[in-house]
Amino acid sequence: MKNIFKYLLVAMVSAFVFTSCDRSADRDWTTPEPSFTLYNTTLGAAVLYPTMANNPFVLRWDNSKTTSGTYTVVVSNSEDFATKVELGTSTTNTLTTTIGELNTAMLQAGLSPYSSQNTYVRVETGSEVSNAISFMVTPYPSGKPIIKNPTAGQLITLNADAPLETAATILWSDYTYGVAVDYTVEIAAAGSTNFQVLGTTTDETQLAVSNFTLNDIAIKAGLPVNVTSSADIRVTATTTSTGGTITKASDIVTFKVTPYQPAYVDFYLVGGGTAVGWNASGAQLLKNTNEISEIYTYLENNGEFRFLGQQDWNPINYSLNAPGINDSYKYFKTWSSNLEPSGAENMKFTGDSGMYKITINQNSRDITVTPSSVPTLPTNVYLVGSIQGWNAGAALEMTQVGDGVYEYEIAVPDGAEFKFLGQQDWSGMEWGNIHGAGNSGFLGPNGDNNNIQYNGGGATYKITANIKLGTYKLTPQ
């Protein structure tokens, strides 16, 4: 009676029994007839997972009748073994390996991860072969992405004059997972663990990155500007199936790059359709944060305006890149539908008069004008904050000193925080430091502000809120 070997998978309760494929009458073998017997193996699961990688996998067979040499165990994705991969070798009638090695051999033989397929196993020695056993199994991905570009030591040259043009296309190879795969591309200063996300893709093994993006992420990763430095790049593949989430990271490739200091410029708003009029010396500076320049300000219907590069008419002017505009003024490549060219120098605002947010993207050279959440100017403005107990019902009424301009004198201690209200409660208009808490000097309306923060040392200050210009300031008295 044949000795049947049973393989027990550690910590698995149920067992999945492989069925023999020794059905000679049902198939046409292109290899020799079996001359010795490979026994069926009991496997604990039909779905494999990385946590099983070190679990043992054992095969047993009869000794060959004519050969006493080395036995080779092979795996294939087809019963004719047209494509086969070696699982291991043995000089006895037993092979002990691991689930991880079996999983790798199945993948190399052409089985796809996360997909249930038939796997065929047999033993070969000299010209003799055993019978084949087959089983349905779902492998897990054991490989990892391989970065093809950039290559080790490659220098990626950045072009500061074309921030939106492609600086490099990151390329990598990976096998088909059978499920959606999310890739994350990251870079860090060479040898650092401070990886920053360069970009992500789904089922795509390439990522085009612009000069601005690569430069921006390189700086965030700690690479100095104007210095050729080494950077590490890696690609991580993440897949999810019923068995959970598997993450595979590529080997790190070290390349070189020279980050540049972005040449962001200042924009000053001027024009008859604005709160400052055609007064170049009083032109309104926009808030700059890297490539974004922005402000909440008043615009007049059918009013004309443009931007200056300084509080003077010369030397720099910015307008729409449109036919009829002076060539030296052409700057904005795209603009919102409520703007149009006007004459040889200006743009015209075609929306209703009121408060708007102007946003300029210096990389794309785009300008958009969108309505403020507080579109009209207030009748009264009140001061509320830590300097009066955050009591909106008793907010301090400010004195109006101009169109949309309000003032109040008060002692300001260190750590003071405050806002402006359009009424003595929290239910209506409010303004604070644009976006987040701080002391930028620029106002943001409802939904885009936080507390103004100031260390006054207990001295008396005149607090000025210019709602129409979208600014505020504190002046020592």
Which residues contact residue 148 at a Cβ distance below 8 angstroms, ignoring those fewer than 6 apart?
A: 171, 172, 173
If you average pLDDT over residues 180-209, what whole number do you get?
96
Place 21 in a pLDDT band, splitting at 50, 70 and 90.
very low
Residues 298 and 346 in one domain: yes
Query: Quick check: 172 and 235 in contact, CB under 8 A?
Result: yes
What would the mean pLDDT of 79-104 be, rounded to a whole number? Answer: 89
The reply to whether omega before 141 is within 30° of 0 (cis) is no
Q: Are residues 55 and 125 in the same domain?
A: yes
Q: What is the pLDDT of residues 337-381, one digit of tens each?
A: 999 999 999 999 999 999 999 999 998 899 999 999 999 999 999
Which CATH number characterizes residue 360's domain?
2.60.40.3620
Query: Chain-wide mean pLDDT for the chain?
Result: 89
- Is 377 inside a domain boundary? no
Q: Give the model confidence (pLDDT) of 244-262 as tens digits.
A: 788 889 999 999 999 998 8
Identify the pLDDT of residue 235.
97
Q: In the predicted model, is pLDDT for residue 24 greater than 80? A: no
d(CA 140, CA 180): 14
Within a domain: residue 245?
yes
Query: Among 114-123, 437-446, 447-456, where is mean pLDDT lowest?
Result: 114-123
Among 257, 279, 295, the domain boundary falls at 257
- State the total domains in the chain: 4
Q: Indicate whether 4 pLDDT > 50.
A: no
Contact present, 316 and 308 (Cβ < 8 Å): yes
Mean pLDDT on 449-473: 98
Q: Which residues contact 279 (CB under 8 A, 6 or more apart)?
A: 270
288-331 pLDDT per residue, tens: 998 899 999 999 999 999 999 999 999 999 999 999 999 999 99
Residue 9 domain-assigned (yes or no)? no
pLDDT of residue 42: 58
CB 293 within 8 A of CB 286: yes
Q: Given this model, what pLDDT does residue 65 score? A: 63
pLDDT in tens, 146-190: 899 999 999 999 999 888 899 999 999 887 777 889 999 999 999
Separation between Cα atoms, residue 398 and residue 119, nearest integer Å: 81
What confidence tier does 66 reach under pLDDT thresholds 50, 70, 90? low
Residue 386 and residue 366 share a domain: no
Distance separating alpha carbons of residues 300 and 37, to the nearest angstrom: 92
- Asked whether residue 400 is domain-assigned, the answer is yes
Q: Which CATH number do you get for residue 92? A: 2.60.40
**One domain, residues 30 and 110:** yes
Q: Is the pLDDT of residue 26 over 80?
A: no
Tell me, yes or no, if the pTM score tops 0.95: no
* 329 and 312 in a common domain: yes
| pLDDT for the residue 29 | 36
Distance (Å, whole) CA 306 – CA 332: 11
Range of the domain at 215: 146-257
Cβ atoms of residues 55 and 87 within 8 Å:
no
Kindly state whether residues 233 and 157 are assigned to the same domain. yes
Residue 1 covered by a domain: no
* CATH number of residue 456's parent domain: 2.60.40.10
Q: 118 and 44 in one domain?
A: yes
Residues 288 and 355 in one domain: yes
Report the alpha-carbon distance of residue 269 to residue 358 in Å, rounded. 10
122 plus 27 within the same structural domain: yes
Torsion of CA 21, 24, 30, 33, to 10 degrees: 100
Last residue of a domain, one of 217, 237, 257: 257
